Amino acid sequence: MLKVFEAFSGVGAQKMALRNLNVEHEIIATSDIDPVAIKAYAYIHDPEYMSSSLNIDINIAKKYLIDLNIISNEKVDRTKNNDIIELYKACICSKNLGDITKIDINNIPDHDLFTYSFPCQDISSVGKLKGLQENSGTRSSLLWECKRIIESKKPKFLLLENVQNLVRGKNKDSFEQWLEYLNDIGYKNTWKILDSKNFGIPQRRQRVFVVSKLEEENYLEIFNKKIEMKSIYDILDKSNETYYTYTNKIDVDINHGEYKFFDDRDWKMNGIIVNDICSTQRAGRSGLKCIRNENGELQVRKLSDLECWRLMGFSDVDYNNLKKVNFPSTSILKLCGNSIVVNVLEGIFENMLKENTYD
């Protein structure tokens, strides 16, 4: 049984990948502070628990959420009791330890795999580039908080994911410092920039992955997996063809009956550039659009939340679990923008775990 700690857990793309691969595993803990992400995680991975009732003193639930830094003192009293209980339940069922800076190491069970896709805001090319230096107080410097956990628990495998800017420019020194640190405490690291378009998903999404293994030689073959691209027909929600469709006629010459993606920024700046592969989904950018060509006419469509969800390799079953409890589209788009394409994780885990040496 693979025991896993998903730090910065989001919707749990890591768990989705292990589930899809039928890897016998147990999530021994997660860590996140965003109420929307915490609830989404719980409704996706344990909808039964979330639909059961729970008797808990409201003041105990409030204190718990405040202690974990998930809700502030000011906000707690403005939040409805039902919402407090729902969030508390989500934390319990996902074994969420809350703010990574506050976690008591003694509360973390032993585990074999530690995943840490820490916040990218300060290193991403679309952010203010404040960097991730240790003790700098930036959100991306939360990376260094993982030291306490890794040193005390020494899991056999570690998996880091972040934007490709992590290995470039002014972030490069911090990245190298991190690898050196892992090396000093006994990990062999291998890293690569992987693009989800090589893992069967028609989304251009380049991300850095670092796989570390305790006391083993490097094994770069981890990342060798090319999967044939899924058709964009498989992504589009055919039942909802007119969703967000503008009637503008567009002067672009593409073949009849084809769907093509194009980039939002190109739309604004240069008119339309037609691409077969959709641009990177980002938390702050809702509105990827595609061109629909039927009956010889071209139209523009903003992708729906379901289509964006599928562009992350996520399943319709998981999407439906969120929709059943009325998750807003804007939240779903944000969760997608922050997450990891699950097919890429499957490729990594398949190789990482093939010798099954964690038992």
Residues numbered 115-154 forming contacts with ligand SAM, rule: CB under 6 A: 117, 119-120, 142
Residue 32 as a binder of ligand SAM (CB under 6 A): the answer is yes
Site string for ligand SAM, 78-117 (x = CB under 6 A): ---------------------xxx---------------x
3-state SS, residue 297: strand
Nearest 5°: the CA angle 176, 179, 184 is 125
Mark whether 120 is an active-site residue.
yes
**Which of 2, 4, 11, 288 forms a contact with ligand SAM (CB under 6 A)?**
11
Nearest to 288 by CA among 264, 255, 306: 264
Closer to ligand SAM at the Cβ: 33 or 272?
33
Cross-strand partners of 25? 2
Is the Cβ–Cβ distance between 208 and 166 less than 8 Å?
A: yes
Residue 33 as a binder of ligand SAM (CB under 6 A): the answer is yes
Residue 338 as a binder of ligand SAM (CB under 6 A): the answer is yes
Residues numbered 191-250 forming contacts with ligand SAM, rule: CB under 6 A: none
Cross-strand partners of 347? none
Closer to ligand SAM at the Cβ: 194 or 298?
194
Residue 8 as a binder of ligand SAM (CB under 6 A): the answer is yes
Identity of the amino acid at 356: N
Q: What is the CA radius of gyration of the chain?
A: 21
Cross-strand partners of 12? none
Select from 9-17, 149-157, 178-186, 242-250 the region that touches ligand SAM (CB under 6 A).
9-17
Round to whole Å and give the CA distance between 235 and 308. 8
Q: Is 268 exposed, middle or buried (0-12, 13-18, 19+ CB in 10 A)?
A: exposed
Site string for ligand SAM, 52-71 (x = CB under 6 A): --------------------
The active-site residue, picked from 91, 120, 146, 308, is 120
Round to whole Å and give the CA distance between 43 and 38. 9
Question: Contact residues for ligand SAM (CB under 6 A)?
Answer: 8-14, 31-34, 37, 99-101, 117, 119-120, 142, 338-340
The residues that are catalytic are: 120
